[in-house]
Chain A
Amino acid sequence: MNAIACHDGPFLPQMARILEVTAMTAREKFFRVALPAPLGHRPGQFVMLSLLGIGEAPISISCGPRDDNILEMVIRNAGSLTQVLHRLQPGQFVGVRGPFGSGFHLADFYGKDVVFIVGGLGLVPLRSLIQPILAQPDLFGHVTIISGCRTPAEELYREELQSWSRMGGERRPVTVIRLVDDTAHLPWDGRIGLVTAPIADLAMDPDRTLVALCGPPVMYKFAIMELTGRGIAHSHIFVDLERRMKCGIGQCGHCQINHLTCCQDGPVFRLDRIVDLQEALQ
């Protein structure tokens, strides 16, 4: 199902050296690390990131597939492990297992218009799909990125969002819509409102549009409602879900959604395959 780049068993991490740590917001830091060998991942996959003696957590891969041994991640300071991670400096080591999960298959998107709807940290994993799609303009149609967060201070990858909006051309337009719930008295050059609001006005051909969604649990329900209203079939919607995970190999039981495991069958699911499963989306 997925390539496990762990040579000595699935629980052994490879040691990766930190090359760069950059603060993105008050809570998020960007990490670029060098692995002993290329990760060989697909968009939407994740790694188990650890600090020896502290612990391990599932972390989204934020960069598109690449030939070198570089891995990019964005880590929110949200617990004891990530708190320590935030204190690390270039030159120090982190443990990496993976890549894990089904991820996205780029071929599914060939020739399609692609709409990304991301809330908060949701942009972090979907950047791994946005990058390869924008890098190959001949293979994909119109790209729309709707990215929302609470306040301007929490916006991730701002410069990249702005540069992506300039990557469009006549043959392959790119639309980037940036939103905040509240400007919080900060300067803001995007829109104000919920990430689901622009869906109603998008020019979409339901037959040739695929949508990738990632965000907080509450976002899925309303985004799916709006998309369904615009005639987008569930088979054209991909959701990237979050669950607690301890192993990445379908055994620890934490990420189980009915008969599926989020770490192996997901975290990217085509919506029609899980929409009828209880506990999948809420």
Chain B
Amino acid sequence: MRPFLLRRDELPNWIKHLARESQVYFPQRAGRSGFRFKQVREGSLIQLEHYRPTIVPPGKKLFPAEEILFRYQTMGDEIPVVTPVLDASKQILAGVRPCDLKGIDLMDRVHGEGVPNPHYLSRRTHTTIIACDCLYPCDDACFCDAVGSLGWRKNADVFLTALDDEILVESFSERGRTLVQRTALPVCDAVDSFKERVDVRRSKPFGRQFSVPLSQIGPIIAGQWSSPVWENHVQRCFSCGSCNLVCPTCYCFNVRDDFELSDGSSGGRTATWDGCMLPTFSIVAGGHDFRPLALARQRHRVKRKFQYLTQRFEEGAFCVGCGRCGRQCTANIDIFDIVNDLIQKVEG
């Protein structure tokens, strides 16, 4: 299907049109300066704006902070009955940037390969993604281009590229084509020249850059276990886990049982977000802790993003360069700076 053109001022109508039929989440103002993915209502202010990324990435709509795995009912001496809980409600995540699009793709792999996670996959199957291109870095913390996220298009159902008053609307899936076809949009006859003009306009360099190519970062980090860089950065860390909570590719969880106080015979089991920076994360029964120091936990976190998971899933980086962990860090620790210092140390 050939791409369409949408006038920028028509975007709100299209998004609100979609919102009449299913739940649509779009980045909207919340509070004084922040944005968050809020459900679109008739009165919502919808515009593709330049804004600092939302605190919580849109991918968390697929992996909520609390996920009920099943409910149970005990029945005296009889076998208890356990009933799975799967969320199959339709949703559209719109206004998703390339970094977050890549984050969702990585989570699709984590939850889809090996033993599939039916809870994630049920939501994912019922989720449509309308992503959009970035022409300028969102702020000084962004480094999406350095980790190969800026050009991410895979797994977008619809992809929007806004330039001046026009938006190029491309659909990459059957589901995307259905969303687009329902609106009578003019076909774009000059896609190549549109994209050329976009590339001319796009910031260069785009955000922060590492001094070595991405392919070299994994080996560099793999070779540095006792570098003083780890200590330099972790000195300020409170082990609060904020970086875990806001990361598009953090997916560790805990499992908790609940029971109904009212009847004492029913309840459920819930997966809740956990974070590898939290002090209790690696303690086993009996009290042995495999990562008792914040240094070991931070090193583990950085190595997960640039070494361990990249090795396991054969990806360039599990960090998408959104900059959220650095922005939200209560001690101003930035994963870009840690990686950059490790690179500099090697280059010496």
Contacts and interface: CB of A to CB of B under 8 A. Distances in A.
Contacts of B304: 256
B158 to A, nearest CB: 29
A247 interface: yes
A253 B284 contact: no
Interface stretch (B32-40, B126-134, B138-146, B250-258): B250-258
B296 interface: yes
Interface string A1-35: 10010001111110101000000000000000000
A252 B274 contact: yes
A93 to B, nearest CB: 6
A243 interface: yes
B238 interface: no
* Residue among B69, B114, B115, B118 facing the most chain A CB atoms (10 A cut-off): B115
Contacts of B119: 11
A191 interface: no
A93 B79 contact: yes
B206 interface: no
A103 to B, nearest CB: 16
A55 interface: yes
B82 A57 contact: no
Contact of B259 (A8, A53, A249, A254): A53
Task: Label chain A's interface by main secondary structure.
Answer: loop
A242 interface: yes
Contacts of A249: 114-115, 117
Contact of B285 (A8, A10, A50, A78): A78
Interface residues on B, range: 35 or more
A8 B116 CA distance: 12
Interface in A29-80: 50-57, 76, 78-79
Contact of B253 (A95, A217, A253): A253
A250 B115 contact: yes
Interface residues of A, number: 45
B80 A52 contact: yes
A247 to B, nearest CB: 7
A201 interface: no
A253 B252 contact: yes
Contacts of A79: 285
B84 A8 contact: yes
Nearest to B116: A10
Contacts of A244: 281-284
Interface of B: 69-70, 72, 74, 77, 79-80, 82, 84, 110-111, 114-119, 225, 251-259, 267, 269, 271, 274, 276, 281-286, 288, 290-291, 296, 300, 303-304, 307-309, 311-312
